[in-house]
A and B are shown apart, each in its own frame.
Chain A
Amino acid sequence: METIVEAIELKKTYLLGKVPVNALNGVNLKVDRGDFLAILGPSGSGKSTLLNLIGALDKPTRGRLMIEGIDISTLNDNQLTDLRRRVGFVFQFFNLIPRFTARQNVELSMSIADVGKSERIKRADTLLETVGLKDRMSHKPAELSGGEQQRVAIARALANDPKFLLMDEPTGNIDSKTAMEIMGLIKGLNEGNGVTVIMVTHDQRLASQSKKTVMMLDGSIVQETVN
């Protein structure tokens, strides 16, 4: 299996006011193409920090983080930006642009990647159909339920044919019934379409849906389970 993400002794220190906080304390992790990895842990365990680093939203303090064999700490801002375009991010709070319709939100990530208008619309429609929002394309986020908004966010994350999906508590803001539906969608994408998924959650039940689970505590991985 081809390794797509590899963290070696990864460290991240924040300054909280003037107090340094070690969010990551030397994390070692390997994710292969086609994996479905769940990162489990209580709040403050560093799982979101790890996800932000993998998504090139932040830079590590120490250690190495290889994405497809390239150490991201060697990349400049522009290269990091390019990398972000090939990472599909799904957030707990959806983070859709409120004034845009579902279709426009999906289009946005393609427009950022310089895709032409007609191709954008075509692909946005296909993706929204895939996530089951065929009839809600012209609705704005405020007119959609939480589950529907998260589906739009997933369609947006898939728009630029990403190397992997990064999901930060994707069902944290959704009722449990809808959460299971979303999980079903994610599993389908992973198993059916071969999309690599890295998901952060603190919900043991959701984590058990993944192929592999790592448990984090105080900035370190303390347990690794293959489901």
Chain B
Amino acid sequence: MRARDVLSYSFSAIKLRKLRAGLTTLGVVIGIAAIVALLSISQGLQSTITAQLERGFATDTLIVTAGGGGGFGMGGGLGGGGDSGFQLLVSDTQTINGLPNVDSSVAIIQRVVNNVSVGGTNKTGTVTGVDFAGYLDIYGDTFKASNGTIPIPPANDSIVVGKRVVDPRLNGTTIAGVNDPIGLTWINARANATITLSGHITAVLNEIGSFGVGGPSDSGVYIPIAQAQILFETNECDMIIVKLKSSDQVVIDNASSAIKNAFYGEVSVISATAVLGIISSIFSVIELFLGGIAAISLVVAGIGIMNIMIVSLMERTREIGILKALGTKSRTVLLIFLSEAVIIGVIGGAIGIGLGWVLANVVAIVFRGGGAFMGNQAAVNGGMTITPILTPTVFLGAMAFGIGVSVIFALYPAWRASKLKPVDALRYE
């Protein structure tokens, strides 16, 4: 039998049992749709997070935090406060600046303060003490004023704020502007003292829309490092951000180990590439997990196919007998049954991919809408939007998997059909 004739024969058999074939196909559709939806959402999420990180965390920068003893993980690195009690000082930037491959570095003191008073509202907020010139040098793209100017050198009462501080909903309704007063209140629990800093907004940053480790954010409040040292009564800093002379992996590796050595292994050094690497590996585990769950549903669909095929085999025993009596080769009978499975797999796969894609987009829209309803909460998310991504790998993989499962589960019934003896099959009632 020619390939085309085999296919059209199989197709005619499927068409005869529309409801049954439809339900079988539905199993494949659901499995494939689940795989495609889950994977395209998680890949979209990964690419959103990666893109935002890349914006907020340049690849030619390193983040140095105290503790960790060469710890690589994000948690260990950002946790700070090492076991040995070692702390990074603001003045440690001088040590780092003296190392090869280092272009510049900037120390950051970061505290969650009890009250940020601006435009008649009071909120808690994160205050970052930083050398404006050095910060600008590293985060020139995001530490950029939309109103006012970032003062260099800054006056003692100069305060730079992120967009959301004066425009909480990012909808143009501002509660304060440049030159308006802003007050910070911090309760020093250790000294049991309340310290306040009054200043003026000298600049409002452009909307950044992303988050990053150490980089500027839309809800951040930035004060000169010297003021932070006075306000928070400390010479210790939370992290030092280092700008390298290039984003070469070799430069990153060499500078990282040079910095670690300079502090006798008492610091953790994180690079953007390392963070991206961690995120990407986390996401591959998540994807594997989600894909695995979806794959289970496809295996269930496969068992459905097998069940239907065996029933169909019994119903069509006589037909197989006729085919064999007319001189159909066993291999052709096998092919007829397998191609029925392939047809179901292809149709189920195609519909499933389409449905999964629609589903992923619906989820993305719901997520975006939810962000708006949550109002301020969206600020925490950084107004993050997920755009589902359907990569060719997922597309082809889902298709191949759908067809593969269909064929694998059809193998046994098809093999049984091909092994039927013509006399027995013809006698079957």
Number of residues of chain A lying within 8 A (CB) of chain B: 28
Closest B residue, CB atoms, query A95: B322
| Given known A111-B1, A114-B1, contact A84–B326 (CB-CB < 8 A) | yes
Residue of B12, B318, B319, B326 near A109 (CB, 8 A) is B326
In the bound complex, what is the Cα–Cα distance between A112 and B5 (angstroms)? Answer: 8
| Given known A95-B318, A95-B322, A97-B322, contact A113–B327 (CB-CB < 8 A) | yes
Q: Residue-by-residue, is B1-42 near A (CB-CB < 8 Å gives 1, otherwise 0)?
A: 110010001001101100000000000000000000000000
Residue of B9, B321, B322, B330 near A77 (CB, 8 A) is B330
A84 touches B1 (CB 8 A): no
- Cβ distance B322 to chain A, nearest Cβ, rounded Å: 5
In the bound complex, what is the Cα–Cα distance between A62 and B12 (angstroms)? Answer: 41
- Cβ distance A85 to chain B, nearest Cβ, rounded Å: 3
- Residues from chain A with a CB closer than 8 A to the CB of B323 are 112
- Residues from chain A with a CB closer than 8 A to the CB of B332 are 112
In the bound complex, what is the Cα–Cα distance between A4 and B385 (angstroms)? Answer: 80
Closest A residue, CB atoms, query B425: A57
In the bound complex, what is the Cα–Cα distance between A70 and B321 (angstroms)? Answer: 24
Asked if A176 is at the interface of the complex by the 8 Å CB criterion, the answer is: no
Asked if B365 is at the interface of the complex by the 8 Å CB criterion, the answer is: no
B330 touches A57 (CB 8 A): no
In the bound complex, what is the Cα–Cα distance between A141 and B329 (angstroms)? Answer: 25
Asked if A78 is at the interface of the complex by the 8 Å CB criterion, the answer is: yes
A97 touches B319 (CB 8 A): yes
Residue of B319, B329, B422 near A78 (CB, 8 A) is B329
A85 touches B326 (CB 8 A): yes
Name the interface residues of B282-327: CB closer than 8 Å to any CB of A: 318-319, 321-327
- Residues from chain B with a CB closer than 8 A to the CB of A52 are 423
- Residues from chain B with a CB closer than 8 A to the CB of A113 are 327
- Residues from chain B with a CB closer than 8 A to the CB of A160 are 327
Asked if A108 is at the interface of the complex by the 8 Å CB criterion, the answer is: yes
- Cβ distance A198 to chain B, nearest Cβ, rounded Å: 15
Asked if B328 is at the interface of the complex by the 8 Å CB criterion, the answer is: yes
Asked if B145 is at the interface of the complex by the 8 Å CB criterion, the answer is: no
Residue of A85, A96, A97, A99 near B327 (CB, 8 A) is A85
Name the interface residues of A95-115: CB closer than 8 Å to any CB of B: 95-97, 99-100, 108-109, 111-114
B327 touches A109 (CB 8 A): yes
- Residues from chain B with a CB closer than 8 A to the CB of A87 are 327
| Given known A55-B325, A84-B325, A95-B318, contact A112–B1 (CB-CB < 8 A) | yes
Q: Residue-by-residue, is A105-135 near B (CB-CB < 8 Å gives 1, otherwise 0)?
A: 0001101111000000000000000000000
A81 touches B426 (CB 8 A): no
- Residues from chain B with a CB closer than 8 A to the CB of A91 are 426
Closest A residue, CB atoms, query B16: A99
- Cβ distance A35 to chain B, nearest Cβ, rounded Å: 22
Name the interface residues of B398-425: CB closer than 8 Å to any CB of A: 421-423
A58 touches B327 (CB 8 A): no
A57 touches B423 (CB 8 A): yes
Closest B residue, CB atoms, query A53: B423
- Cβ distance B428 to chain A, nearest Cβ, rounded Å: 11
In the bound complex, what is the Cα–Cα distance between A156 and B326 (angstroms)? Answer: 9
| Given known A99-B16, A111-B5, contact A57–B326 (CB-CB < 8 A) | no
Asked if A164 is at the interface of the complex by the 8 Å CB criterion, the answer is: no
In the bound complex, what is the Cα–Cα distance between A86 and B319 (angstroms)? Answer: 19
A89 touches B326 (CB 8 A): yes
- Cβ distance A4 to chain B, nearest Cβ, rounded Å: 18
| Given known A52-B423, A95-B322, A112-B323, contact A81–B329 (CB-CB < 8 A) | yes
| Given known A52-B423, A95-B426, contact A57–B5 (CB-CB < 8 A) | no
Residue of A57, A96, A109 near B422 (CB, 8 A) is A57
| Given known A57-B423, A99-B16, A114-B1, contact A81–B318 (CB-CB < 8 A) | no
B326 touches A100 (CB 8 A): no
- Residues from chain A with a CB closer than 8 A to the CB of B422 are 57-58, 84
Name the interface residues of A26-84: CB closer than 8 Å to any CB of B: 52, 55, 57-58, 77-78, 81-84
- Residues from chain A with a CB closer than 8 A to the CB of B15 are 99
- Cβ distance B153 to chain A, nearest Cβ, rounded Å: 88
- Residues from chain B with a CB closer than 8 A to the CB of A112 are 1, 323, 326-328, 332
* Max chain A Cβ within 10 angstroms of own Cβ: one of B15, B327, B423: B327
Q: Residue-by-residue, is A209-225 near B (CB-CB < 8 Å gives 1, otherwise 0)?
A: 00000000000000000
Closest A residue, CB atoms, query B4: A117
Nearest 8 CB-CB pairs, A to B?
A85-B327, A84-B327, A57-B422, A111-B5, A109-B326, A95-B322, A58-B423, A57-B423
20 further A-B contacts with Cβ under 8 Å, apart from A84-B327, A109-B326, A111-B9, are: A52-B423, A55-B325, A57-B325, A57-B423, A82-B327, A84-B324, A84-B325, A85-B326, A89-B325, A91-B426, A95-B321, A95-B322, A95-B325, A95-B426, A99-B12, A109-B327, A111-B1, A112-B1, A112-B326, A112-B328
8 A-B pairs within 8 Å (CB atoms) are namely: A81-B329, A95-B426, A96-B322, A108-B326, A109-B327, A111-B1, A112-B327, A114-B1
